[in-house]
Amino acid sequence: MDAGLLDLALTHRSFAYENGQIPTNERLEFLGDSVLGIAVTDYLYRRFPDHPEGQLAKMRAAVVSSVSLARVARRLGIGEMVKLGHGELSTGGRRKTSILADTTEALIGAMYLTDPSGAARFVHHLFDPLVDLAEHTGAGLDWKTSLQEVCATLGEKPPEYEITESGPDHDKRFVATAVVGQRRFDPAEGHNKKQAEQRAAAHAFAVLEPETHAAPVRPLAPGTAV
């Protein structure tokens, strides 16, 4: 990838503002969002020829969500490379779902400008498995429901959500934390309570779902309907 494009893809608007209004990664983010969308749509269309449009749309929305993008970013260590302003750095910007997701899209956009076929391969390598996960577990169609199912498999009580809110009425920010038993998971931010809870559930699901593969099969209680 061109070094200039890479640097631009990693430049958050907070850094640009503090350094003389230099260009930001937002245009690349816009491009990368479209590149990601068409690659995931193409895979969904070919992979599930019998699925109706509505189901494909829900799965696509899950796979290209900020939660999924941020998970990919964390795996790749993108947070440590983002150029942030002092304000974002002081509030944990390198870990924020929104910043990680936006930067991942910007990087995809930069890859596309450098090598369109390479960008497509990159997207398919990282995101096709997320499509398959959504298909097999129901995750992404409703993260809260999926997390509740995982908790049941592990013999845990249903998850609870701790909510905090901040900001003026016209620009509220909600932060949700999923709690399962004695375990607390990474918080997630949203423009409303529902969005924050869904994102928090996704964080918890990513940690707990692998544990279900080692969970013993629990016998049904007497009289349980099947």
Same domain, 78 and 170: no
pLDDT number for residue 136: 61
pLDDT number for residue 219: 41
Annotated binding site for Mg(2+): 29, 102, 105
33 has catalytic annotation:
yes
pLDDT number for residue 58: 79
Domain assignment of residue 217, yes or no: no
Domain assignment of residue 107, yes or no: yes
Q: How far is CA 144 from CA 41, 195, 204, in A?
A: 24, 10, 9
How many angstroms separate the CA atoms of 4 and 59, rounded? 34
Instruction: Give the domain-ending residue among 137, 169, 184.
Output: 137
Domain assignment of residue 192, yes or no: yes
- CATH code assigned at 116: 1.10.1520.10
115 has catalytic annotation:
no
Which percentage of the chain shows pLDDT scores above 90? 46
Same domain, 38 and 83: yes
Give the closest residue to 64 by CA, choosing from 33, 98, 93.
Answer: 33
Which percentage of the chain shows pLDDT scores above 70? 90
Which residue of the set 2, 50, 53, 105 is catalytic? 105
**Between residues 193 and 219, which one has the greater pLDDT?**
193
- CATH code assigned at 152: 3.30.160.20
Same domain, 189 and 124: no
The stretch 91-113 carries a mean pLDDT of 91
How many angstroms separate the CA atoms of 150 and 143, rounded? 10
Q: Which of 74-78, 162-166, 217-221 has the lowest mean pLDDT?
A: 217-221
The answer to whether the beta carbons of residues 131 and 44 sit under 8 Å apart is yes
Annotated binding site: 29, 102, 105
Q: How many domains does the chain have?
A: 2
Which residue of the set 2, 7, 26, 33 is catalytic? 33
Domain assignment of residue 74, yes or no: yes
**Between residues 207 and 84, which one has the greater pLDDT?**
84
Instruction: Flag whether pLDDT at 222 surpasses 70.
Output: no
